């Protein structure tokens, strides 16, 4: 009945007639040129707004034609502020006979997770401890200072240079985890302060781009391990992942690489090249093509500082070689930590699942220890991080038991591994996917 009488007599706050819609009608608006989404039963037309979305147009577009309520709650620290931007986009609401959730999502899971979110928020687990992040920043700056002082005063022998590279790589990796905190708005109460310090950490301390990171990383969080939506599983035909993609490639006789050997060549093209080659090129191209001069200026301050410090000691080419080696070491650290939580998990096409189920199927945890916490930037609590991306990382362990209990209640697997098991599973999952490709390539 509501589908036929599209325009009701209700009036929204802007004075325009507000429609009443069914989910079937909302789902028709899911193309790039016509996008609607639902937040708390309100229907919004985001077609024009998507290009101006601070998190990038892709992340919001991934929810075109869908219910984005859970994602909205996960990514926005101040919903009242965001309502100012949503108000002009309002086109109506769901019909009273329509469920609040789309598809086959389990309303019990959604409600239980929302109750948990409200509970931990009341307990103050979304409030950061400033001392924690000050100490973390301090140990990064200390490592960088000691590395330079060491080779400045004691010389540039091979042993000292190697030790300097290890210290710089450690500082870079830890700065990577720190910029991740600010990028997720999990340190300061006000978003603008998080954004400002984020640009300092990722730009001045790492030579990268905050906007590039935001637009890429939030897609990963919004739709983890989902082909065509999560950029982290877009392997540019170098690898095939999961159980579905290898079979598809095999049936279509796609052989850009010998995928049955991908668990071997992963060691040559994965950890060593991601940051020094692929990310470096992509970051520079993105800043220049999008004319993101602010991020480019921040990044240039890193390179200016680095070469001013090390060129007098190693010369320009020697300094460049040292920096490349540091990036090489950092890349190994970054790839193993980030991929052991995701690559061995389910990697599929869009299934329109609730937030809890979607995140648990695509993430796993690594056992807690002081070393694991530091080494991974607390991303050993990947499940809790994905469920509550704005929660300060020092509070993940406080909510982990309740998340696990909720998963047990709804029979959702909560996977925990040792650090070495997590790394080994990256290789074994690549091997399994490669074998699936070979079997489909030869026999289907």
- The predicted pLDDT at position 413 comes to 97
- The predicted pLDDT at position 250 comes to 97
Question: How do residues 329-357 score in pLDDT, each as one tens digit?
Answer: 999 999 999 999 999 999 999 999 999 99
143-150 long-range Cβ contacts below 8 angstroms, 24+ apart: 143/167, 143/168, 143/170, 143/171, 143/174, 144/168, 144/171, 147/171, 148/309, 148/310
- Mean pLDDT (whole number) for 214-235: 96
CA distance linking residue 396 with residue 388, whole number of Å: 9
- The predicted pLDDT at position 171 comes to 98
Question: How do residues 105-126 score in pLDDT, each as one tens digit?
Answer: 999 999 999 999 999 999 999 9
Cβ-based burial of 30 (10 A; exposed 0-12, middle 13-18, buried ≥19): middle
Quick check: 104 pLDDT over 90? no
Question: How do residues 298-335 score in pLDDT, each as one tens digit?
Answer: 999 999 999 999 999 999 999 999 999 999 999 999 99
17: which DSSP letter?
Answer: E
Quick check: 393 pLDDT over 80? yes
Q: pLDDT-based confidence at 97, cuts 50/70/90?
A: very high
Give the chain's largest Cα–Cα span. 82
- Cβ neighbours of 323 (radius 10 Å): 20
**Mean pLDDT for the chain?**
94
End-to-end CA distance of the chain: 48
Q: pLDDT-based confidence at 181, cuts 50/70/90?
A: very high
Q: pLDDT-based confidence at 14, cuts 50/70/90?
A: very low
Q: pLDDT-based confidence at 4, cuts 50/70/90?
A: very low
- The predicted pLDDT at position 10 comes to 40
Can you give the pTM of this predicted structure? 0.92
Question: How do residues 360-377 score in pLDDT, each as one tens digit?
Answer: 999 999 999 999 999 999
């Amino acid at each position: 009945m509501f589908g036929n009488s599209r325009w009701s007599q209700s009036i929204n706050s802007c004075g325009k007639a507000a429609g009443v819609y069914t989910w079937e009608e909302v789902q028709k608006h899911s193309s790039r040129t016509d996008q609607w989404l639902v937040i708390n039963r309100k229907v919004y037309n985001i077609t024009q707004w998507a290009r101006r979305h601070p998190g990038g147009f892709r992340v919001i577009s991934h929810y075109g034609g869908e219910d984005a309520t859970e994602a909205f709650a996960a990514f926005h620290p101040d919903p009242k502020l965001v309502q100012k931007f949503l108000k002009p986009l309002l086109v109506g609401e769901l019909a009273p006979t329509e469920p609040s959730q789309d598809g086959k999502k389990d309303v019990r899971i959604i409600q239980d997770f929302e109750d948990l979110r409200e509970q931990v928020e009341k307990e103050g687990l979304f409030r950061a401890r400033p001392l924690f992040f000050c100490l973390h920043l301090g140990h990064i700056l200390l490592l960088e200072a000691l590395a330079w002082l060491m080779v400045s005063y004691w010389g540039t022998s091979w042993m000292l240079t190697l030790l300097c590279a290890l210290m710089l790589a450690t500082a870079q990796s830890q700065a990577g985890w720190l910029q991740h905190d600010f990028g997720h708005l999990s340190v300061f109460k006000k978003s603008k302060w998080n954004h400002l310090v984020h640009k300092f950490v990722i730009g001045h301390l790492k030579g990268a781009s905050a906007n590039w990171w935001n637009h890429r990383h939030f897609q990963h969080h919004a739709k983890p391990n989902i082909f065509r939506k999560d950029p982290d599983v877009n392997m540019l035909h170098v690898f095939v992942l999961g159980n579905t993609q290898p079979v598809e490639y095999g049936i279509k006789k796609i052989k850009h690489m010998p995928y049955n050997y991908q668990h071997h060549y992963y060691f040559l093209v994965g950890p060593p090249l991601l940051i020094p080659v692929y990310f470096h090129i992509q970051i520079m191209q993105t800043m220049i093509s999008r004319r993101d001069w602010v991020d480019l200026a921040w990044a240039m301050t890193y390179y200016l500082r680095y070469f001013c410090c090390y060129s007098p000691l190693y010369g320009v080419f020697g300094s460049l070689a040292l920096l490349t080696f540091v990036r090489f070491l950092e890349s190994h650290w970054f790839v193993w930590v980030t991929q052991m939580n995701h690559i061995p998990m389910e990697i599929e096409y869009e299934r329109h699942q609730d937030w809890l189920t979607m995140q648990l199927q695509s993430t796993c945890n690594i056992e807690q220890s002081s070393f694991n916490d530091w080494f991974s930037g607390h991303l050993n609590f990947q499940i809790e991080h994905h469920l509550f991306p704005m929660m300060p990382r020092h509070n993940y362990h406080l909510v982990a038991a309740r998340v696990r209990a909720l998963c047990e209640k709804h029979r959702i697997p909560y996977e925990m591994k040792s650090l070495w098991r997590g790394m080994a599973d990256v290789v074994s999952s690549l091997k399994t996917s490669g074998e699936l490709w070979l079997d489909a390539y030869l026999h289907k």
